[in-house]
A and B are shown apart, each in its own frame.
Chain A
C-alpha cells in the first residue's frame, strides 16, 4: 500500500490548472503550425497566425489562452494499492482548483445550480471521473473545458443497421451544425458503443489523446482517418470563416455494446485544446 498525501494532491492539481490554462500542449501547437501551412484560405491562414501568436503571449505572460478557463474535468485513475491520506480525493481536486482559479486570476465560470445559476465564485466543483486500476500509482488527466465547444456536443442512439455510414453522417452533421461556434480548428472525440453514459465518457476522454495517435484497432484507426477527411471537406475552416482546416484530429474510442444498440457520443474541443496529465 502506497500512501499519497492529500496536501500533495492539492498542490499537483493547482499546478495542473496553471499549466493547462496557460500553456498550449506542444502537439497541439505543432498541429496548428501544420494547419497554417496547409490552409488554403488566406483569411484562415491569418486566423491561425493569430491563434499561434495568442499561445505565445499566453505562455510568456502566464495568462490564460482563453478567458473561458472552463469547468475543470478530471479523470482520476487510482491504483488499487494507493491510499490517500488526510482527506478525500475529490476534496483535494476541488481545493486545488479553488486555489488555482483564485491565485492565478482565472475566470470563475461555475454556477451552483443549473436553474438558479448563482456563481460558486471559486470555479468548483470540478467534474471528477474516478476509475480503480491496477498498481500503486495515481494518474490524473485534467482539462479546463470551455463551453463554446462543450455546447456543441451531441449524443445519438443509432440503430445497429446504420453502422459506419450512420456514424459518419452523425459526426459530419454535428460538426456542420456547430460551424464556427466551437472555435475551429477543433478536435473531435467520438465514443461508440457501451451505453448512453459510457459513450459520452469515451468521447470526453478521447480528447486527451495526443495528436497523431491512432486507435489501436485497425478498423477504428481507418474510421478516424476517414472522419477527419470528411470533416475537413465541410469547408468550415478556422473560426468558421471558410477553409480546409476544420479539425486537427478525430479520435474514436469504442466499447462492447448491446445487440440492439449503437450509441454514439460526440464531444468537441476548441483549438485551445487545454489538457494536462500527471502520474503520481
Chain B
C-alpha cells in the first residue's frame, strides 16, 4: 500500500492500478462548481482555494447527521467534468478523485502537467465517510451538496486510475480480462 499526503508533489512514481491511501486535504467540486471555477480562471479572478498541488474530489455528499462530520460520500462519474478540467490542470491541479475513465483531452493534459487521476470506489459512500474527519464549506454554499467543501481525510482508500504517463487501469484491466471468444467487433 502506497501512502500519500497533500499537497501532492511528485506523482510520477504512481502507476495505474496501484492501491494508495491519501491523507490531508481534498476540495470537493462537481459540475456546477467546475463551471464557476473555469469562469473565474477565464476572467483572471482569484479562486476560492489554491489549485497548485491540490486534489479535487468529485463528490456530492449526503448531509451529515448531528455529531458526524459528513454523510455518505462516494465519488461521482468523472467524465462529466472532462470538458472543464484542462484549465484547472493548467493552473497546477495535481490530483483528481472520481469514478470512471477520462477523455483523451484530459489524459493528454495530465501527461503534460504531471497530474494523476484516482478512482475511489463508487457506491462505497458509507465506507469512505469513515475516513473523512472534518468538513467545511469554502465556497458557493447555495449549491448545497454541490458547494466546494474542504475535507480533511485520513487514509482515504484510492486506486490510481490514470497515471501521469497516461496509462489507464480501465483500458489495461479490461484488455487483460476480456475473454478471447468475445467478438472483435465489440
Interface of A toward B, CB cutoff 8 Å: 40-41, 43, 46-47, 50-51, 53-54, 57-58, 61, 63-69, 105-109, 119, 121, 146, 148, 151, 169, 172-173, 176, 179-181, 183, 230, 233-237, 239-244, 270-272
Complex Cα–Cα for A270 and B160 (A): 21
Measured between beta carbons, the chain A residues less than 8 angstroms from B100 are 179-181, 240
Task: Name the residue of chain B whose CB is nearest to the CB of A22.
Answer: B126
Residue of B at shortest CB range from A63? B126
Taking a contact as CB atoms under 8 Å apart, the answer to whether A148 and B129 are in contact is no
Given contacts A50-B127, A107-B71, A242-B177, 17 further A-B contacts (CB under 8 A): A40-B177, A54-B121, A63-B62, A63-B71, A63-B129, A64-B62, A66-B72, A105-B65, A106-B63, A109-B145, A148-B77, A180-B122, A181-B99, A233-B178, A239-B99, A240-B100, A241-B170
Identify the closest chain B residue to A168 (Cβ).
B183
14 residue pairs from A and B, CB less than 8 Å apart: A54-B121, A54-B126, A65-B126, A66-B125, A66-B126, A67-B62, A67-B145, A107-B71, A109-B145, A179-B170, A183-B99, A233-B182, A235-B177, A240-B170
Residues of B within 8 A of A107 (CB): 60-63, 71-72, 145
Secondary structure call for the B interface: loop
Measured in the bound complex, the distance between the Cα atoms of B71 and A58 in whole Å is 10
Query: With A57-B127, A65-B125, A270-B123 known to touch, is A180 a contact of B60 (CB < 8 Å)?
Result: no
Number of A-B residue pairs having CB atoms within 8 Å of each other in the complex: 173
Per-position contact with A for B168-186: 1 when CB-CB < 8 Å, else 0? Answer: 0110111111110110011
Contact B121 A47 (CB under 8 A): yes
Given contacts A63-B65, A108-B144, contact A237 B127 (CB under 8 A): no
Contacts of B82 in A (CB 8 A): none
Q: A183-B123, A236-B174 are in contact. Are A66 and B186 (CB under 8 A)?
A: no
- Decide if B173 touches A237 in the complex (CB within 8 Å): yes
Q: Which residue of B lies closest to A271 (CB)?
A: B123
Contact in complex: A43, B71 (CB < 8 Å): no
Closest to A175 in B: B186
CA distance A176 to B145 in the complex (A): 30
Which residues of B have CB within 8 Å of A233?
Answer: 178-179, 181-182
State in angstroms the CA–CA spacing of A106 and B174 once bound together: 34
**Given A43-B19, A176-B186, A241-B173, is A67 in contact with B125 using a C-beta cutoff of 8 Å?**
yes
In the complex, A67→B101 CA distance in Å?
20
B142 smallest CB distance to A (angstroms)? 10
A interface SS class: loop
CB proximity of A73 to chain B, nearest CB, Å: 18
Q: In the complex, what residue of chain B is closest to A152 when comparing beta carbons?
A: B77
Please measure, in the bound complex, the distance between the C-alpha atom of A41 and the C-alpha atom of B157, giving whole angstroms: 18
Chain B residues positioned under 8 Å from A230 (CB to CB): 182
Asked if B17 and A239 make an inter-chain contact with CB atoms under 8 angstroms apart, the answer reads: no
A72 to chain B, nearest CB (A): 15
A110 to B125, CA, bound (A): 19
